[in-house]
Every structure is written in C-alpha cells, then in structure tokens.
Structure 1
Amino acid sequence: MRMNPVIARSFDPYLLSRVEDAGLNASAPPQQRWVDGWLLRFSPGKAKRARCVNAVAPGRMPVAHKLALCEPVFAQAGLPLIVRITPFSEPAGLDSTLDALGLERFDDTRVMVLEDVSNIVAPSLGKGLSIQPVGLEAFAQRVGALRGSPLSQRLAHGQRLAQSPVPFQAYEMKLDGEVVACGQYAREADLIGLYDIYTAEWARGRGYANRLCAHVLAEAHRNGARHAYLQVDGDNHPARAIYHRLGFADAYAYHYRARDPAAA
C-alpha cells in the first residue's frame, strides 16, 4: 500500500512542522473554507497550493464523503478538485485511499530547507546588475509577465500577496535596466520562505538566480532570519542544483491527486 510521503530523518521534525505551517500561511488566499478538518482553497491563480484541498486534520467523516462535499465547492469556483498530499496529511494512509478512489497522482514537489542562513554572503553583482525591492502587486505582474501567465492569474496572485497573513518582501534583478530575474520571501519570526524565484528565459544559465537568492537570503538574515525553506518541482533539476549549491537540502516531498491531472 502506498503511503503519504515521509520526512528526511536528518531534519528537526519540529522545524519541518513549522515549515509546513509557514507554507500554508504564505499561500493563503481569501477564497477558502473548512470541511471536516480539511482546508479548501479555491483561488483562480496559478499556484496549486492556493487552489487545492489541504488535508490538515483527520476529521470525523469518511474520505469519500468529504470528497463529495468538496467537489461542488471547486465546481462552483470553476476549478477542478485537487488534493495535496504531504507527510502531514490526515487521515493516515490518505494517499492510498485517494488512489483507490480513482484520483491520479501528479506534480512531485520537494520542500528544501536551509537550516542556517548565517553562512550566506551577499554576492558581488558585477557591472550593469542591480537588485532592488519592488511592490507586491507590481511583482505579481512582473513575474506573471515573465511566466506568460494570463491576466486573471496575475491579478489573483497580486490579491493573495496584498491580503497575505504574513509579510512578503519582493525583489527584482536588472541588467542595464532590463529585468532578468525576480523573487520574494515570506517571513514568520526567524523562518523565511523563498517564493517565485524566476529568471527570464533568455537570461538563464548565467548565474542570475543564484546571485538573487544569495542576496535575498543575506538581506533576510540581516533582518533576523535563521532558517529558510522553498518548494520546487522534483524534476526541475537546474533550479534544484542552484538551491543545493546555496546549502538547501531535501526535507520532504509532496504531490497532488486529481481525477484528471491534465485539467489541473
């Protein structure tokens, strides 16, 4: 029987519990509700974390009953039902239960953690490069344009950032006045999460993302951060290599399930 993902034994489980909570807080949209211990989020944005079921607590109902209550919520929002599966998902064995109910697995994602950000040194940027803070709604438009996201997703992203229960700080890197990379972090006490690290397609492979991340982490440390985390697609090997060089390591994995992953 396939079980929920597991956490890496090398990490403090209490830190990883904080990381999971922080990731939920950082992705919180205004469109959400509870169903018997499950947190339903149905924002129309690109991030699946903000438009899925997060199975936070076991509740009292059978899984099939809860799914039957969840599906109309997503249908009314014009979204497919997606369930996010983590090592913390409840009830135990939820992954295999959903598999038996016909929900297919997709989008393997890794949560990477840097336990001590104090060793990160802000890099020398070089001629023509600059990094500066940018407003959150402007950032949503900027990263959306780089990704080619439709306007509806950019607006939903900007709304989520503006109404976030935790503070974000966004940055953009420019080369001779043209944006080459951008990213942001969410902060909870001494823990920060890197989000939306993105490099313009034409500028990839030149070390911009590495320098941007190092700059952001060094800035966060100056403001009191001790630990950092991020979430990245399991098969995004270039990005994972960057994060490994910065000292991040895989802490745990998660994935999604849906009746039709292609529609998700």
Structure 2
Amino acid sequence: MQAAMSPSLPALARLAEEAGLNASTPPQQQRVAGWLIRLSPGKAKRSRCVNALEQGELPLHELLQRCATAFAAAGLPLCVRVTPFSQPADLDAQLAALGWSSFDPAEVMVRARLDDLPAKDLTPGCRVEPLEAEAYAALVGALRGSSAAEIEAHAQRLRESPVPYRGHALRDAAGTLLACGQFAREGVMVGLYDIFTPAEQRGRGHAHQLCLALLAAAREEGARHAYLQVGSDNAVAQRVYGRLGFEFAYRYHYRSPLAELR
C-alpha cells in the first residue's frame, strides 16, 4: 500500500506529521545526513525506525548502511517509515527495487476544528482518572501483552518526551476499566495516542466517550486541531474516529529488508 495524502488537507497533514514526530521522540535518537534515526527498544515502531526527513548528499546505499550499523549496534531490526513527506521523493520505489518489503500501513486522521465538539457527558457513575507515565505504560502494556522491557521503554519515552503526555483511564462506579488513552498537546495541535478498550468492553461506546473527554481537555489547554494514527486494516477503530469527526489526512507504511518484519 503506497503512502498517500488527502488532496484537501495538505497543510494540516504536514502539521500532523511534524507534531507526531515531536510527540514520539525517544531519548535514543540521532541524525544521519538529514535522516532521523530512532532507537527505542519499545513496542511502537514510530520510536524505533528511520524517518527520511531530508534528501541529504549521501548516496542512498551509504545512508542505508549507516542506518543498518546504528540499528545493529542497538540490537534492533532495521526499518524505514515511508510517508508522503519522505525524502528523496522516490524513496519508496527505490526501497522496493532493493527488495525491501512493505508492511504495517497506517492512516493519519485529523480533526480540523475542536470548537464544535459535541457534549462529553459520561455514562452515569463513570469517571476519567488521570495516570502518571509509569502507571499508564504499565496499564496499556499489560493489555497489549508487551514485555517488561517494552513497558519500561514506553514509560521512559513518556517521561522524557519534549511534548507532555496526559494518560487517562475511563472506569465505571466499581472501578472496572472501560477504556484508556492519552493525549499529547504541542501548541494548537493535539494527538490522541494508545487508545485501547479491553476486549470484554468493546462495542459499548467507551472509546468514543473517552476520546471526547480527552479532546475537550486538550481544547481547554489551547488545542485547536487534532490528529491520531490508526492501522489501515482497523476498520472498526476508523469508524469510531470518523464518528468523532476525524477524516483521512495521509497514509504511511514501513519497509525493511529483514524477513522477520515482513
């Protein structure tokens, strides 16, 4: 699936890409000739991949070799995140010609305005509980089956992120977890991250309620636009976000020469 962008939202799409890069900054990152290398041992691929931000002057094969060396030293599999903004512009085609497989396509969706949010009334007895970075990483990590190392890397990234995260859990009167999620606001842009509903609670509108509460809280802090990332194959989540007023902005995917990532 090729990287693609909505023709009606190019400016907001680029703002969402820049905000998403800033919000996913791990402590372990470096620059190589205009490319941004991220080397977090966490589960999120956006924090352990190459982002080809600038074309630079090095030949592609040399850039890729330098990236491969850095990933090998970190004990991580090499992968490149390909977006409509990647440089050089034909990077996707060049990697495909080298035999690098494409995988994990994702949609970036945006909400152009937050001043028209519907009411965020919660189901009677429910509450939204704020969580610190460690508690949130442990909660969502356990739900996703993450390893201890992945949970710790997630918590570290949240603690040290230049863009503050606000983790929350939606619970009923008995304290049962209904959904969890967090937002990261940078100026007028806010991103929704790690929205998760336990399997036994799905299909009841809990994620919708929580997302509305998070967006309303971010709006009160000064956010005017919102973005999120969702798997291209996750039609259920895309419908949930569509009902919240989000629309497709652009698509990205990853490429790697390694069989275990294909």
* Mapped contact 1:121–1:218 kept (Cα < 8 A): no
CA RMSD of aligned residues (A): 1.4
Match of 2:183 in 1: 185
| Structure 1 residue matching 2:94: 3-state secondary structure | helix
Shift of 1:181: 0.9
1:73 aligned to 70, 73, 77, which one? Answer: 70
For 1:96, give the aligned amino acid. A
Within 1, Cα distance between the matches of 2:116 and 2:204? 23
Paired position in structure 1 for 2:240: 242
Aligned-partner Cα distance in 1 for 2:219–2:225: 9
- Separation in 1 of the partners of 2:124 and 2:14? 42
Superposition pairs of residues 51-70 of structure 1, within 5 angstroms: 51-70=48-67
The SS at the match of 2:40 is: coil
Q: Is the 8 A contact 2:178 2:206 kept in 1?
A: yes
- Whole-angstrom distance in 1 between the partners of 2:15 and 2:134: 27
Q: Is the 8 A contact 2:120 2:216 kept in 1?
A: no
- Displacement of 1:227: 0.3
TM-score (norm. length: structure 1): 0.95
Identify the match of residue 41 of structure 1 among 38, 41, 65: 38
Partner of 1:209 in structure 2?
207
Match for residue 194 of structure 1? 192
CA distance in 1, matches of 2:260, 2:122: 41
Distance 1:62 1:130 in 2: 54
Q: Which runs of 5+ in 2 are unaligned?
A: none
Distance 1:6 1:125 in 2: 36
Q: CA separation in 1, counterparts of 2:233 and 2:85?
A: 22
In structure 2, give the amino acid aligned to 1:20.
E
CA distance in 1, matches of 2:238, 2:13: 19
% of aligned pairs identical?
50
Moved over 3 A (4+): 261-264
8 Å Cα contact 1:197/1:209 also seen in 2: yes
Q: Structure 1 unaligned runs (5+)?
A: none
1:127 maps to 2:124:
yes
> 2:111 touches 2:227 (CA, 8 Å); kept in 1?
yes
Q: Is the 8 A contact 1:110 1:231 kept in 2?
A: yes
Stretch moving more, 162-171 or 45-54: 162-171
How far residue 261 of structure 1 moved from its aligned partner, in angstroms, is 5.4
Structure 2 counterpart of 1:117, one-letter code: L
Q: How many Å separate the matches in 1 of 2:214 and 2:242?
A: 16
Distance 1:64 1:100 in 2: 12
1:95 aligns with 2:92: yes
Mean Cα deviation higher: 187-196 or 166-175: 166-175
Contact 2:109 2:229 in 1 (8 A): yes
CA distance in 2, matches of 1:200, 1:124: 21
Give the deviation of 1:263 after TM superposition.
3.4
- Report how far residue 5 of structure 1 moved: 2.2
Further displaced range: 180-189 or 120-129: 120-129
SS of equivalent residue, structure 1 residue 25: helix
* Distance across 1 between alignment mates of 2:100 and 2:85: 19
Aligned-partner residue type, residue 69 of structure 1: R
Partner residue of 1:86 out of 80, 83, 89: 83
Letter in 2 for 1:158: A
Tell me by how many angstroms 1:124 deviates: 2.3
Residue matched to 2:17: 20
Counterpart CA distance in 2 for 1:130 and 1:38 is 43
Secondary structure at the aligned position of 1:119 is classed as coil
Task: Specify the code of the residue in structure 2 equivalent to 1:43.
Answer: S
Contact 2:41 2:153 in 1 (8 A): yes
Corresponding position: 1:168 with 2:165: yes
Work out which of the residue numbers 108, 115, 119 in structure 1 matches 2:105: 108
Question: What secondary structure does 1:230 align onto?
Answer: strand
